[in-house]
Amino acid sequence: MSGVVVHVPRGTGGADGGEPGGEAVTLRLGPGEVARFGRGSAAVPVELVLDDPAISRLAGEIRVTQDHWQLTNHSAGHSYLVENPEGAGEYLRIPPRRVGAPIPFEFSRVVLPTRGDATVSFQVFAPDHVFLDPEAMDVPWGNSTVTAYSLDETATYFLVLVALCEPRLRDQSRVAVPTTPQIVERLREHVTCGTLTARAVSSHIDYLAEEKLRIEGPATGESGKGDRRNGKREEIVGLALRFGLVREEHLALLPPLTGAGGRERQGAS
């Protein structure tokens, strides 16, 4: 496991004592590294600032190990929840003063209670879960082969990947890769993606490129952000199709195509 990515949404807080309620913060942690979270102060510095008066100055910490990450709850009276957004309600409850609780989810949302109905949360991504090669599972000797690209076909990011690859899988040609708004529209009828936003799709694309497929985007200037994102999508689709990470049978994961264009595409596939 190469580490985890911690993401604090915009308006939640800051990092290293930065401006509370500011821009979103993304922090990368390698094995053995620790990130503390809470309100923080000059006397109690934290790496992830959560700007809410009901949250302790030092609320807890994340510690990365070789094959998972751990959560410590420093609160004396409040439990924290670690939700699996991909798991249909699956969650863990981390009780007060619990030290080093191991978290098994690939995607996690850490939720802290506050006053009233509101909560404060942040996400933790553990991208390097490793799966054994199914063809080597019965081999009684030596180490089994592990997959080069660890992809969970039940995860939302995989649906985004399939939607990115769909036009080329159906047309078998160098057609344009779908834009982020087109991905949102394509997945709108999926049972788990009805509320998927453009920002969320962009995050999944970044996660695929940087963590799952380990693609370095083309270097462009500030004015070339659109070109850089287009180039990243092209690289993702090219790698996924070249290595067979997404195949025609995966198209069944997407909602049925509708309209005249959809009937034409289904007839051609």
Instruction: State the SS3 of the chain.
Output: CCCEEEEECCCCEEECCCCCCCCCEEEEECCCCEEEEECCCCCCCCCEEECCCCCCCCCEEEEECCCCEEEEECCCCCCEEEECCCCCCCEEEECCCCCCEEECCCEEEEEEECCCCCEEEEEEECCCCCCECHHHCCCCCCCCCECCCCCCCCCHHHHHHHHHHHHHHHHCCCCCCCCHHHHHHHCCCCCCCCCCCHHHHHHHHHHHHHHHCCCCCCCCCHHHHHHHHHHHHHHHHHHHHHCCCCCHHHHHHCCCCCHHHHHHHHHHC
Distance of alpha carbon 148 from alpha carbon 9, whole angstroms: 30
pLDDT digits (tens, 9 = 90+) for 168-224: 998 867 778 999 999 999 999 998 888 888 988 998 998 898 888 888 755 444 445
Each domain of the chain, given as residue ranges in start order, spans 4-125, 156-268
Report whether pLDDT(104) > 80.
yes
Output the pLDDT for position 159. Answer: 95
Report whether pLDDT(52) > 60.
yes
Most confident of the ranges 20-24, 65-69, 84-88 = 65-69
Report whether pLDDT(88) > 70.
no
For residue 229, name the pLDDT band (cuts at 50, 70, 90). low
Nearest to 49 by CA among 72, 11, 17, 84: 17
Conformation bin of residue 181: beta by default, left when phi > 0, alpha when psi is -120 to 50: alpha
- For 115, the token pair is 């006053």
pLDDT digits (tens, 9 = 90+) for 153-164: 888 999 999 999
Least-confidence region, from 43-57, 150-164, 210-224, 230-244: 210-224
Identity of residue 19: E
Contact 190, 203 (CB under 8 A): no
Output the pLDDT for position 266. Answer: 46
Output the pLDDT for position 234. Answer: 92
Identity of residue 24: A
Output the pLDDT for position 90. Answer: 86
For residue 264, name the pLDDT band (cuts at 50, 70, 90). very low
Q: Which CATH architecture has domain 4-125?
A: Sandwich (2.60)
- For 201, the token pair is 């799709």
- Cβ atoms within 10 Å of 140's Cβ, excluding its own: 4
8 or 216, higher pLDDT: 8
Output the pLDDT for position 161. Answer: 96
Output the pLDDT for position 219. Answer: 47
- For 255, the token pair is 């909602």
Output the pLDDT for position 203. Answer: 87
Output the pLDDT for position 269. Answer: 43
Nearest to 74 by CA among 61, 92, 91: 61
Report whether pLDDT(21) > 60.
no
